[in-house]
């Protein structure tokens, strides 16, 4: 798995990110994320909030927080979403497939779509 974009530990960023070649988040991000041409990876210490779209797989180890207005975050992956034992998500998650592991926590709706 080759990932060319990264938000490093200790980094706090907000806004919109459009990236090609995958994205690994180890810090914090609030806003809109669009990932094409690679996976979205949320590491255990990472925290995100907002709307995330990925055209491939998403590997979730960290936290997806609800938005400031109390609404759940949104994540759409056109590949598989891997909900690991360390993920804590307050989000509606839509994906082509789900792989879940004991201990994963999701507060929100889970929906499957046809893989693209």
- The distance from CA 107 to its chain's CA centroid, rounded to whole angstroms, is 14
20-61 pLDDT per residue, tens: 999 999 999 999 999 999 999 999 999 999 999 999 999 999
Q: What pTM value is reported for the model?
A: 0.95
Expressed as residue numbers, the domain containing 108 is: 5-112
Question: Can you tell me the distance from the alpha carbon of 58 to that of 76, in angstroms, rounded to the nearest whole number?
Answer: 9
How many CB atoms are located within 10 Å of the residue 69 CB? 5
Average confidence (pLDDT) over 97-111: 97
- pLDDT the model gives residue 66: 98
DSSP 26: S
Reported as a pLDDT band with limits 50, 70 and 90, residue 116 is low
Tokens 């960290």, located at residue: 62
pLDDT at 115 over 80: no
- pLDDT the model gives residue 18: 98
The total domain count for the chain is 1
Task: Look up residue 92 and give its two tokens.
Answer: 């509606």
- pLDDT the model gives residue 103: 95
DSSP 46: -
62-87 pLDDT per residue, tens: 999 999 999 999 999 999 999 999 99
DSSP letters, 49-104, are: EEEEEESS-EEE-SEEEPPTTSPPEEEEEEEEEEE-TT-EEEEEEEEEEEEE-TT-
């Amino acid at each position: 798995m080759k990932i060319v974009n990264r938000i490093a530990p200790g980094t706090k960023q907000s806004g919109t990110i459009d990236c090609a070649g995958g994205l690994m988040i180890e810090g914090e991000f609030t806003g809109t994320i669009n990932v094409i041409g690679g996976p979205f990876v949320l590491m255990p210490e990472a925290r995100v909030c907002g709307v995330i779209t990925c055209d491939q797989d998403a590997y979730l180890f960290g936290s997806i927080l609800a938005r400031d207005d109390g609404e759940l975050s949104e994540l759409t992956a056109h590949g598989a979403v891997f909900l690991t034992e360390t993920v804590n998500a307050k989000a509606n998650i839509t994906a082509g497939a789900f792989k879940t592991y004991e201990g994963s926590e999701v507060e929100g709706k889970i929906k499957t779509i046809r893989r693209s």
